[in-house]
Amino acid sequence: MKTVACVVQPGFAPFEFGLACEAFGLDRSDDGIPNFDFRIVTPDPGAVPSNIGFSINVDADLAFADEADLVVVTPIPRTSWDSVDERVCEVIRRAVDRGAWVLTVCSGSFAVAAAGVLDGRRATTHWRYADTMARMYPQIDVDPDVLYVQDGRIITSAGTAAGIDACLHLLRLELGAEMTNQIARRMVVPPQRDGGQAQFIAAPLPVSTSLSLSPVTDWMLENLDLDLSVDLLAARAHMSPRTFARRFKADHGTTPAAWLGRQRIIHAQRMLEQTDLGLDAIAHASGFGSAAVLRQNFARTLGLTPTAYRARFTCTVTAEESAA
């Protein structure tokens, strides 16, 4: 994926538009991450009004979208849901026909639905609008309980910040886990999304806001295979166990045990993606002790087995692939 067209229309939502710019338009070459040829396009070039009273000036029409590897469709206002610009619909249809990626944020899914390319597919949108989409497009399997859905090369996402999850998911598929993890850290994305959805993005390693705890959390991340009790961690922080637990929760919003468990899952995810080690070795390196315990924690947290996760998200390259 090298070229990205971000489609904006009158009444666009600035935040959702901005996150698409952040994900695909920012220069990250200083981090060793390749840049995309990112362009903002619109049906009628000129001033495009947002939904909160200001406009942006867009010089490019939709022509570039017909050659882009990814077409991002930003939200459209409710008043446009039953009258989506046919020029945008045509761009979306052509993108799907040629095998390009199409990604929507929030109500941008209504534009893709209007283009007819979601018929018979699973999709999502903001939970407030899911029932409306299901009524308007009964041929679409609308899932209101997830942050994003990938069906083929079409990715639809739920409201607002869920668009970040969808963008990171696509970046992971195109750039791999390591580069996506760098992008997520730079975006300061929380290490775990709340709400019960098991989303499979490379969670960034959190940065402690407490200087006194930073050395301890860094040491924890370097020694996930050890038995890291609160007593041991408190001693390294030169605090009593009670004080350490209180400070840790104030700093990270969760208990040391819960934070540690999540970091161990993240470490196991990365090893499943990037190595061909067996489950016992990964379980030991991640601090779970055995493959059985790893499977139990993995299924509870992500909703699938380590083996299934590896099959879906492995980033290793075989000798045959390298030779090719």
Q: Which two tokens stand for residue 15?
A: 């935040």
Any idea which fold 214-313 has?
A: Arc Repressor Mutant, subunit A (1.10.10)
Q: For residue 307, what is the enclosing H or E element?
A: helix 306-313
Whole-model pTM over 0.75: no
Question: Degrees (nearest 5) of the Cα angle 239, 242, 248?
Answer: 75
Cβ atoms of 292 and 316 within 8 Å: the answer is no
Show pLDDT as tens, one digit a residue, over the chain (324 residues): 999 999 999 999 999 999 999 999 999 999 899 999 999 999 999 999 999 999 999 999 999 999 999 999 999 999 999 999 999 999 999 999 999 999 999 999 999 999 999 999 999 999 889 999 999 999 999 988 788 888 999 999 988 788 998 998 899 889 887 788 788 878 876 433 443 333 333 444 444 444 568 889 889 999 999 999 999 999 999 999 999 999 888 887 788 998 899 899 989 988 988 889 999 999 999 999 999 999 999 888 877 889 988 886 665 444 333 333
Instruction: For the chain, count helices (H), then strands (E).
Output: 14, 10
Phi, psi at residue 254, to the nearest 5°? -155, 175
CATH 3.40.50.880 fits 3-186, yes or no: yes
